[in-house]
Amino acid sequence: SEGYQVVVNSHASVQDGKAVAASLPDGLYIQGDCSTREGCEGLVKEVVERCGQLDLLICNAGVGKVIPHDKLELIDDEYLHKIFALNCFGPLWLSRAAMPFLKKADDGGIIMIGSAAGGRPMGSSIPYSMTRAAMNHLTK
């Protein structure tokens, strides 16, 4: 975090997020839901309002659950919507909202934290691999 004021975000694990922020010099915690466009736009807006600028966006959020790859019938629509909203659409919405501010920064950038599951079907489930492959393409 050297040279940056780090803003930590979570939706559900508030106490953990606050603890991480408190462990960083000048760390700041902002709760927000990155599985919705409104939540992503609101998070970026609050970061800029509270910090004055945005230099670097790190997308590290994700959700998954274990579903054997050969059991596609166990994948329900609710889970598909949940995992795609956070793992796939969230990074896109965050990137889109952050881009005007990152363009103003001296050396603005975006870091996507993905998974080897984005390169081949592995990991907790096929939907998880699908969302990480989408993140890989967004990054390229």
Active site residues: 128
Tell me the backbone φ, ψ of residue 112, rounded to 5 degrees. -105, 125
Cα atoms in the Cβ-side hemisphere of radius 13 Å centred on 11: 13
How many CB atoms within 10 Å of residue 73? Answer: 7
Buried b (16+ CB within 10 A) or exposed e, 110-123: bebebbebbeeeeb
C-beta of residue 79 within 8 angstroms of C-beta of residue 66: no
C-beta of residue 56 within 8 angstroms of C-beta of residue 109: yes
Query: Smallest Cα–Cα separation from 87: which of 65, 63, 69?
Result: 63
Structure tokens at 81: 């919507």
